[in-house]
Amino acid sequence: MNSFTDQLNRKIDLPSKPQRIISLVPSQTELLYDLGLRDEVVGITKFCIHPEEWFRSKTRVGGTKEYDFEKIKALNPDLIIGNKEENNQEQIEELMKDYTVWMSDIYTLKDACDMITRIGTLVGKQQEATNLKLEIESKFNQFQQFLNPKSQILSVSYLIWNKPYMVAGNNTFINELLKVCGFKNVFEQDRYPEITTKQLADANPEIILLSSEPYPFKEKHIEEFKAICPNAKVMIVDGEVFSWYGSRLLQAPEYFKQLIENIASKR
């Protein structure tokens, strides 16, 4: 029997390397794929759109908040992998009664890298996970060298929902990546507060970033926010890059570099 500790400091026991895994988080599903677990993952959510071949072929057990318990039972998982923020606590606790559940809890890049190595150890892919973590850290270190230490810190608002308007605030992974990019979030409330158009106008951010998820902001929304903050630069950004904390982090530094260069060219 092997014992492991998740990021909620819960201990779980596995008699052997898991062979029937259900992933309840899109970014962690993609991570499992990139670690090489082609056959071991038997269930995913309807939001686990990467990789596309898994989205087409793997059993979908519901969303990230509500699960089809009968489908889960039929899959007979020996391990379920979830996340504190993205999954529903009550339903996760129900799953814990019958299955071995490992949970992540991620606010920072350090947390994300820790999750990657812990899951790698958990599923018998320790070396692959370590190599992935080191590559992510190397790319982010190179990105920090790209940023000019003397460059102006730009104020930013990151919209995740439309009507009601919701933004990413403090104690979120998105906010961590905004800081990595050298931005200052104008909304310092915790988590994902609702805001009014007046609050956005009063905050007067230099940059407004409209995320492609969970609300699918499009080019047509740009004028709406320019009317609220006429002096702001309003841009659509890839929400997966800003919020997925698995292997997609490999893509983030280059994307952030291009984003910053794009902002600079418009100033």
pLDDT at 160: 98
Average pLDDT rounded to a whole number, residues 48-59: 96
Q: Do 184 and 228 belong to one domain?
A: yes
Q: Do 113 and 184 belong to one domain?
A: no
Q: Do 10 and 94 belong to one domain?
A: yes
Q: Do 118 and 6 belong to one domain?
A: yes
Query: What residues contact 72, with CB distance under 8 A and at least 6 apart?
Result: 22, 43, 61, 80, 95, 99
Average pLDDT rounded to a whole number, residues 64-77: 97
pLDDT at 215: 96
pLDDT at 264: 84
Q: Do 200 and 129 belong to one domain?
A: no
pLDDT at 267: 59
Q: Do 155 and 182 belong to one domain?
A: yes
Contact 219, 237 (CB under 8 A): no
Contact 96, 69 (CB under 8 A): no
Q: Do 27 and 101 belong to one domain?
A: yes
Q: What is the pLDDT of residues 134-145, one digit of tens each?
A: 999 999 999 999
Q: Do 156 and 63 belong to one domain?
A: no
Q: 139, 163, 179 — which closes off a domain?
A: 139
Contact 65, 91 (CB under 8 A): yes
Percent residues over pLDDT 90 in the chain: 94
Q: Do 159 and 134 belong to one domain?
A: no
Q: Do 39 and 133 belong to one domain?
A: yes
pLDDT at 128: 98
pLDDT at 32: 98
164 prior amide bond cis, ω within 30? yes
Q: 139, 162, 194 — which closes off a domain?
A: 139
Range(s) of the domain holding residue 48: 2-139
Q: Do 93 and 204 belong to one domain?
A: no
Q: Do 155 and 115 belong to one domain?
A: no
When divided into structural domains, the chain yields a total of 2
Average pLDDT rounded to a whole number, residues 126-149: 94
CATH number of residue 240's parent domain: 3.40.50.1980
Average pLDDT rounded to a whole number, residues 41-56: 97
